[in-house]
Chain A
């Protein structure tokens, strides 16, 4: 079997719990000292993530807004900004890829770093973990001493980062889930069984029914589960049972799978007659960027460097290149610097053929796909931005926001006035 050079058996799991909420706190520091909650990005208008202060007051994810407010009167509600979280996570991934080329995003705020071979650079696992922490710290400051990359800072409090190191992704994840904020737990090779045995079942991602059945059977730890005969677990829980038994027994080593950056993506257009009109060229640029973005190889990646080539009449040519400060998959953000260059330094003659090339990429995340990719995500972010600006203006003029959400209070109630309510809109 060919060996995948972007795979690794030893793994470091980097985890920032409540990543989205942390991003909001980093953006608005006043939230850190208040109980706050994020609304779900979907249409349910339920609570998505709650801060520890709010949780202490009784608010929980999945609650309706009215339930959460009832339990925690001082709760600050925030509108979600998935595009921002996604960008921050992409920066975290970029920071991690400076330490190891093998980086696998798992979910928003959790990524695995393959560490096979890094011992030659950093020594013991402690050294590797320290390198990972240093890497994220550098990006927090927005500078990287070794690299000339110009990405802006990754601004999530470092103390929130938890790192777990071990053989395989599962052990690394369990170790990270046991680590305190800003600290790391290292599980040395050979110690996996002992380490896993004492861990609670909650570290396995089980459906609630399986979890309940195991609890009713008196099985609370991975050790208790692994002590059962594998066949018995399989006969009760099927294929999922086999997988959870093997994970609990430390018999599975899931490797971290890195991703190869795609080859350059090119979209080109040959004009029937040479074109010198800038408006028409700008329009063609937009279409080409759009076409290149639709290339299936681009999915999961954001564009970092874009280049435009033009073949001119009489054999001349024109070339511009733009490095995007924030890698993106949004057409307008990619096309904007190209349009500026087209205005400032246009081609010296009429264009016969125009080509757009994406030549460098930054990793995207699975969450990006979850939150709706590219155009719709950008549209949502645009709407959010417009709403926020309008709200600021209203607050400046009238001292109050006067904008409200409509939320469900008791939609099942037979009394119409109990079904819905208004609550202040706080983006």
Chain B
């Protein structure tokens, strides 16, 4: 499922009766990769135009674990490649690539 599909104007996602707002909603980002497909620069994308870039982006200082997740293959398959990274300035985030659409997303680590 594309996380953007359930996003509303307030920046959160709502479920059921439009009363629940999901927490830790992924944010769309643009990621530059090296030749081994490792993220090197992460740039935040705005909601309006998912490909327009806000700011110059942040360099990836180090890369931690990475893993793949396949889920909900019985309805709308979700296939993601997760990478845990530390950005310049010390922020620790989790990036994932939607392997069906090729889009990159950023989330807080759990």
Q: A420-B24, A422-B12, A422-B23 are in contact. Are A414 and B69 (CB under 8 A)?
A: yes
Q: Is B26 an interface residue (CB 8 A)?
A: yes
Contacts of B71 in A (CB 8 A): 414-415
Contacts of B23 in A (CB 8 A): 406, 417, 419-422
Q: Is B13 an interface residue (CB 8 A)?
A: yes
Cβ B15 vs Cβ A66 within 8 A: yes
Q: Is A231 an interface residue (CB 8 A)?
A: no
Q: Is A70 an interface residue (CB 8 A)?
A: yes
Interface residues of B in 54-79 (CB under 8 A from A): 69, 71, 78
Cβ B107 vs Cβ A421 within 8 A: no
Q: Is A74 an interface residue (CB 8 A)?
A: yes
Interface residues of A in 72-119 (CB under 8 A from B): 73-75
Contacts of A420 in B (CB 8 A): 22-24
Cβ A415 vs Cβ B21 within 8 A: no
Contacts of B12 in A (CB 8 A): 422
CB < 8 Å: which of B17, B18, B19, B24 contacts A417? B24
Q: A66-B15, A409-B15, A422-B12 are in contact. Are A417 and B20 (CB under 8 A)?
A: no
Cβ B25 vs Cβ A417 within 8 A: yes
Q: A73-B16, A414-B71 are in contact. Are A421 and B110 (CB under 8 A)?
A: no
The DSSP consensus for interface residues of chain A is: mixed
Q: Is A424 an interface residue (CB 8 A)?
A: yes
Q: Determine the distance from Cα of A74 to Cα of B18 in the docked complex, in whole angstroms.
A: 10
CB < 8 Å: which of A406, A407, A417, A419 contacts B13? A417
Contacts of A406 in B (CB 8 A): 23
Q: Is B3 an interface residue (CB 8 A)?
A: yes
Q: A414-B71, A417-B107 are in contact. Are A404 and B21 (CB under 8 A)?
A: yes
Q: How large is the interface on A (under 10, 10 to 19, 20 to 34, 35 or more residues)?
A: 20 to 34
Contacts of B3 in A (CB 8 A): 417
Cβ B22 vs Cβ A421 within 8 A: yes
Task: Give the interface centre of B17, B20, B108, B110 by most chain A CB atoms within 10 Å.
Answer: B20
Cβ B17 vs Cβ A416 within 8 A: no
CB < 8 Å: which of A73, A404, A416 contacts B110? A416
Cβ A70 vs Cβ B17 within 8 A: yes
Q: Determine the distance from Cα of A69 to Cα of B21 in the docked complex, in whole angstroms.
A: 12
Contacts of A69 in B (CB 8 A): 16-17, 19-20
**How many chain-B residues does the 8 Å CB contact rule pick out?**
21
Cβ B78 vs Cβ A421 within 8 A: no
When C-beta atoms are compared, the residue in chain A nearest to B71 turns out to be A414
CB < 8 Å: which of B13, B17, B24, B107 contacts A73? B17
Q: Is A325 an interface residue (CB 8 A)?
A: no
Q: Determine the distance from Cα of A418 to Cα of B80 in the docked complex, in whole angstroms.
A: 15
Q: Is A423 an interface residue (CB 8 A)?
A: yes
Q: Determine the distance from Cα of A409 to Cα of B20 in the docked complex, in whole angstroms.
A: 9
Contacts of B16 in A (CB 8 A): 66, 69-70, 73
Interface residues of A in 387-424 (CB under 8 A from B): 404, 406-407, 409, 414-424
Closest Cβ–Cβ distance, residue A279 to chain B (whole Å): 49
CB < 8 Å: which of A73, A409, A414 contacts B22? A409
Closest Cβ–Cβ distance, residue B66 to chain A (whole Å): 15
Q: Determine the distance from Cα of A73 to Cα of B14 in the docked complex, in whole angstroms.
A: 12
Q: Determine the distance from Cα of A340 to Cα of B25 in the docked complex, in whole angstroms.
A: 55
Interface residues of A in 128-174 (CB under 8 A from B): none
Q: Determine the distance from Cα of A43 to Cα of B98 in the docked complex, in whole angstroms.
A: 36
Closest Cβ–Cβ distance, residue B78 to chain A (whole Å): 7
Contacts of A423 in B (CB 8 A): 19-21
Cβ A415 vs Cβ B78 within 8 A: yes
Q: Determine the distance from Cα of A417 to Cα of B69 in the docked complex, in whole angstroms.
A: 14
Closest Cβ–Cβ distance, residue B95 to chain A (whole Å): 13
When C-beta atoms are compared, the residue in chain B nearest to A422 turns out to be B21
Contacts of B17 in A (CB 8 A): 69-70, 73-75
Give per-residue flags for B22-35: 1 if the beta carbon is below 8 A from chain A beta carbons, else 0: 11111000000000
Q: Determine the distance from Cα of A404 to Cα of B10 in the docked complex, in whole angstroms.
A: 15
Cβ B26 vs Cβ A407 within 8 A: no
When C-beta atoms are compared, the residue in chain A nearest to B6 turns out to be A417
Cβ B22 vs Cβ A407 within 8 A: no
Q: A414-B71, A415-B78 are in contact. Are A73 and B19 (CB under 8 A)?
A: yes
Q: List 24 A-B contacts (CB under 8 A).
A: A66-B15, A66-B16, A66-B20, A69-B17, A73-B17, A75-B17, A404-B21, A407-B20, A409-B20, A409-B22, A414-B71, A415-B71, A416-B24, A416-B107, A417-B3, A417-B22, A419-B24, A420-B23, A420-B24, A421-B22, A421-B23, A422-B21, A422-B22, A422-B23
**Interface residues in chain A, defined as those with a beta carbon under 8 Å from any beta carbon in chain B:** 66, 69-70, 73-75, 404, 406-407, 409, 414-424
Counting from the closest, the 4 A-B pairs by CB-CB distance are A73-B17, A421-B20, A422-B21, A70-B16
